[in-house]
Amino acid sequence: MSLAKSHIWVRQLRCSVTNAKRSFNRSTNAIFGKVGRIASEEVTVQLLKSKCLPIFLYGLECYSLLKTDLHSVDFAVMRLLMKLCRTANDIIYECRSFCNFLLLPTETLETKSNKFCKKFKCNKSMLSTLISALAKRFPL
């Protein structure tokens, strides 16, 4: 008697970071529109960190994001720094160091996710199951 491979299909709730990126770009453009190039880079970075980054990362700690989504989040921040420092991809890491923007949003998301799960004494799979059940019960 041979054991056949069983295929277990696990439904997983996927999260799109498109709306988060859109909100982030909208908030950064609002700051650039008000401040423009008048303020120094340090002031602008502090505004972006305190006002725009929380908008971008809000609620993403609940989901287990794919590697492509995490790369997309990081790329949006890299593009912001390219715009702020008026540079291309080749020296953006030095600009990141200069602006003290070394903590990647992906690391920030992982930290926030761990704190969220610790607070509610759950793990990510339990959380995804709960959110999936709520989404089925209350469709948009």
Specify the pTM: 0.69
Q: What is the pLDDT of residue 111?
A: 79
Buried b (16+ CB within 10 A) or exposed e, 75-92: ebbbebbeebbeeeeeeb
**Cα separations in angstroms, 84 against 33, 61, 64, 67, 78:** 13, 27, 30, 26, 10
Return all residues near 81 (Cβ < 8 A) that are at least 6 apart: 92, 95, 96, 99, 101
In tens, the pLDDT along 6-23 reads 444 445 556 778 888 999
pLDDT over 70 at 105, yes or no: no
In tens, the pLDDT along 41-99 reads 788 888 988 898 888 888 777 777 778 888 888 888 888 888 888 877 778 777 777 77
Residue 6 to residue 4: CA distance in whole angstroms: 6
Q: What is the pLDDT of residue 104?
A: 61
Distance of CA 25 to the CA centre of its chain: 12
Q: What is the pLDDT of residue 22?
A: 92
Domain edges within the chain: 18-137
Mean pLDDT value across residues 1-8? 45
Q: Of 140, 124, 137, which Cα lies nearest the Cα of 10?
A: 124
Residue 105 to residue 75: CA distance in whole angstroms: 10
Q: What is the pLDDT of residue 1?
A: 42
| One-letter amino acid for residue 42 of the chain | E
pLDDT over 80 at 26, yes or no: yes
Q: What is the pLDDT of residue 10?
A: 46
